[in-house]
Structure 1
Amino acid sequence: MCGPMTDAILVMVTAPTADKAAEIARTLVEEGLAACGNVVPGLRSIYRWEGQVHDEPEVLLLLKTRAPHFEALRERVLQVHPYQCPEVLRLDVADGHAPYLRWIGDNVRPTP
């Protein structure tokens, strides 16, 4: 049996500090582009950038929103993020707890 259809998405964004991740989350929630942002500290990111391998502490920001808001959310992240090329990855939610999915929908601005 299939679960409820949903347009909920999870957007992953890394940030240099918990304060910066919280600032980004607060901006997106206040502007109605996300229902929630979880700041997850303690990442260690190893990546290649401009020909060099870097090993840096980072923070993960998990944003819950709806698919129709992704483009606006991505553009807003790019405006407020300090990185030249920030991670902004969309993960579609296949299913979930129906009341929580409704809560996401109820807490972002109306569909553009």
Structure 2
Amino acid sequence: MPDSDADAPVTAYVTAPRDAAADLASRLVDARLAACVNVVDCTSTYRWDDAVHEDEEAILFAKTTADRYPALAERLAGWHPHDVPCIERIDAADAHGPFAAWCAGAVVDAE
């Protein structure tokens, strides 16, 4: 298990255009804001400007810690091509101890 609540694993759930997903994932890992990012293709159906839209998108599952999540969300909102990006936090209630420790070590702020 993590050493502290700040090291607790958190997953950011993000949707993005498919052509932006790989870049966003790489930037998050490179900036040490995410330990890893899984990218999964999806189709999103949503209401925007009073009309229903359907777009081919990607879901990014970015693994980070509770401590690093605010910086991840802020930076991601700036990088994201949408004006109102979907960025949601999922807290891990019972993460596998070795995974939690690896995740915490991978997102240590190098600054």
Residue 12 of structure 1 corresponds to which residue in structure 2? Answer: 13
* Identity across the alignment (%): 40
In the TM superposition, structure 1's runs of 4+ consecutive aligned residues that sit over 4 Å from their partners are: none
- Which residues in structure 2 correspond to 1:37-48 (within 5 Å)? 37-41=37-41, 43-48=42-47
8 Å CA contact 2:12, 2:61 repeated in 1: yes
C-alpha distance in 2 between matches for 1:11 and 1:78: 12
Residue 56 of structure 1 corresponds to which residue in structure 2? Answer: 55
* 1:7-51 Cα shifts (integer Å, max 9, x gaps): 11010111111x41111111111111110001111x111111111
What TM-score results when the alignment is normalised by the length of structure 2? 0.89
Aligned residues: 107
Residue 65 of structure 1 corresponds to which residue in structure 2? Answer: 64
8 Å CA contact 1:34, 1:108 repeated in 2: yes
RMSD: 1.8
The residue type paired with residue 55 of structure 1 is E
Shift of 1:111: 9.7
SS for the counterpart of 2:67 is helix
What TM-score results when the alignment is normalised by the length of structure 1? 0.88
* 1:48-88 Cα shifts (integer Å, max 9, x gaps): 11111111111100000001111111111111110110000
| Structure 2: segments with no counterpart, 5+ residues | none
SS for the counterpart of 1:68 is coil
- Which residues in structure 2 correspond to 1:1-112 (within 5 Å)? 4=1, 7-17=8-18, 19-41=19-41, 43-110=42-109
C-alpha distance in 2 between matches for 1:70 and 1:78: 12
8 Å CA contact 1:9, 1:91 repeated in 2: yes
| Structure 1: segments with no counterpart, 5+ residues | none
